[in-house]
């Protein structure tokens, strides 16, 4: 297939996707569901360690709901790098089928092969799941009370550079081209979710983050659509920042407390939220939600850290991030009291438990026992 034919195929697929977006189903109302199935995916590297720690905590926290049949924690097998390489699929078909039988997912980090890993070029499992389950919003909170920072990031999850990240084209041996995709429908639904959050939480300020001065078509469209959406929320203060100056302002203590809610395209959101998490105490302290109308996936924002396991330091993996994600999952499911209870205990654990990757502090098991002992 020539590079022109490959490009035509990509355009056709994206036009078909836009048609589907324009006819999507309404969001699930978990309050009216008789049973909520939570799929638990271990992942790779330290994934099984931190995910199983969180599962033990949830089993105790949700004992009543599990006993009554309101909640089921269901283990999903097979989303490992070994199985994905063996089947040459980012998410094997049988694993995806099992995932689609669930409502919510609690997912450990999964490895994405890169140059130097001596593994086939398989797409990120996360990117595939976001596309297959249409998890269009990546939502990440960052709170640093001592600095008066209360941020909520709404990162577009299914478009931008990552949508076609493994579909780039080698035009000649000397030229390669990747693609960036922004659609009206994809941006509108993200912007509405962000503005609704700002409204429900006291008309907090909204900042739109782009590089629209350079990426005039894609980022320009994203920026304009967000401002159009803002007209429906006249009580909310809205501004925009270019991604480079925004990343600088996040660490500027003279202005960073003025930020509240952020709306970002995919790539910028990935980078900026890791920077923000570092200010909270590192990516190991932050969770994230990937939300769609039918499904939602909750995970740690850090990687799978295979090196820790290979070097025998897996016991010192920190379950805090995935437990923070579990708090978000419980809130999404409408289980507010249990979510707050877990968050309060996690806040205490942040001060009481010191997990250090080099093995000089507490272990994942110490963390788990501390949290379970205080629920």
pLDDT tens, position by position, for the chain (375 residues)? 788 888 899 899 999 989 988 888 788 888 788 999 999 999 999 999 999 999 999 999 999 999 999 999 999 999 999 999 999 999 999 999 999 999 999 999 999 877 667 777 788 898 899 889 999 999 999 988 889 999 999 999 889 888 777 788 889 889 998 889 999 999 999 999 999 999 999 989 999 999 999 999 999 999 999 999 999 999 999 999 999 999 999 999 999 999 999 999 999 999 999 899 888 877 666 678 999 999 999 998 788 988 888 888 988 899 998 999 999 999 999 999 999 999 999 988 888 888 777 777 899 999 999 999 999
Q: 159 CB contacts (<8 Å, ≥6 apart)?
A: 181, 182, 183, 186, 187, 265, 266
By DSSP bridging, strand 71-76 and strand 238-242 are unpaired
Q: Quick one: which of 117, 135, 139 has its CA closest to 125? A: 135
**Rounded Cα–Cα distance for residues 297 and 137 (Å):** 10
Write down the pLDDT at residue 280. 81
Write down the pLDDT at residue 238. 98
**Rounded Cα–Cα distance for residues 221 and 218 (Å):** 5
What are the tokens at 260?
Answer: 């509240």
Token pair 């450990």 in the structure block, residue:
108
Do 84 and 91 contact (CB within 8 A), yes or no? yes
Write down the pLDDT at residue 342. 96
Q: Which domains does the chain have, with CATH numbers?
A: 3-170+265-374 (3.40.718.10)
Do 108 and 75 contact (CB within 8 A), yes or no? no
> Cα 157 from chain centroid?
8
Q: Quick one: which of 263, 180, 198 has its CA closest to 224? A: 263
Write down the pLDDT at residue 284. 63
Write down the pLDDT at residue 285. 66
Write down the pLDDT at residue 269. 95
Do 269 and 138 contact (CB within 8 A), yes or no? yes
Which residues sit opposite 41 in a β-bridge?
76, 107
What are the tokens at 16?
Answer: 């078909």
**Rounded Cα–Cα distance for residues 34 and 19 (Å):** 32
Write down the pLDDT at residue 116. 67
């Amino acid at each position: 297939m020539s590079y022109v034919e490959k490009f035509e195929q990509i355009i056709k697929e994206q036009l078909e996707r836009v048609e589907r977006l324009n006819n999507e189903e309404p969001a699930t109302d978990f309050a009216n569901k008789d049973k909520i199935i939570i799929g638990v995916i271990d992942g790779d590297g330290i994934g099984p360690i931190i995910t199983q720690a969180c599962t033990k905590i949830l089993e105790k926290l949700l004992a009543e709901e599990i006993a009554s049949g309101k909640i089921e924690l269901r283990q999903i097998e097979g989303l490992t790098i070994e199985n994905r390489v063996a089947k040459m699929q980012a998410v094997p078909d049988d694993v995806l089928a099992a995932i689609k039988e669930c409502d919510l997912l609690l997912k450990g980090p999964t490895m994405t092969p890169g140059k130097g890993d001596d593994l086939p070029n398989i797409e990120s499992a996360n990117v595939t799941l976001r596309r297959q389950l249409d998890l269009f919003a990546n939502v990440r909170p960052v709170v640093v009370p001592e600095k008066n920072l209360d941020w909520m990031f709404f990162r577009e999850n299914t478009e931008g550079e990552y949508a076609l990240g493994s579909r780039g084209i080698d035009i000649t041996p000397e030229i390669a081209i990747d693609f960036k995709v922004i659609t009206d429908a994809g941006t509108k639904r993200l912007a509405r979710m962000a503005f609704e959050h700002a409204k429900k939480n006291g008309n907090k300020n909204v900042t739109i983050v782009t590089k629209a001065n350079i990426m005039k078509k894609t980022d320009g469209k994203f920026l304009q659509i967000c401002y159009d959406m803002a007209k429906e929320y006249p009580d909310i203060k809205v501004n925009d920042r270019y991604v480079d100056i925004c990343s600088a302002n996040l660490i500027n203590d003279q202005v960073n407390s003025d930020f509240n809610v952020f709306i970002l395209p995919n790539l910028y959101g990935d980078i900026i939220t890791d920077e923000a998490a570092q200010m909270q105490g590192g990516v190991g302290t932050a969770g994230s939600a990937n939300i769609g109308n039918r499904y939602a996936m909750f995970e740690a924002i850090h990687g799978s850290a295979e090196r820790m396991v290979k070097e025998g330091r897996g016991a010192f993996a920190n379950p805090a991030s995935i437990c923070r994600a579990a708090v978000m999952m419980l809130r999404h499911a409408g289980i507010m009291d249990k979510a707050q209870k877990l968050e309060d205990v996690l806040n205490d654990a942040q001060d009481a438990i010191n997990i250090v990757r080099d093995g000089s502090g507490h272990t994942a098991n110490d963390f788990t026992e501390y949290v379970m002992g205080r629920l």
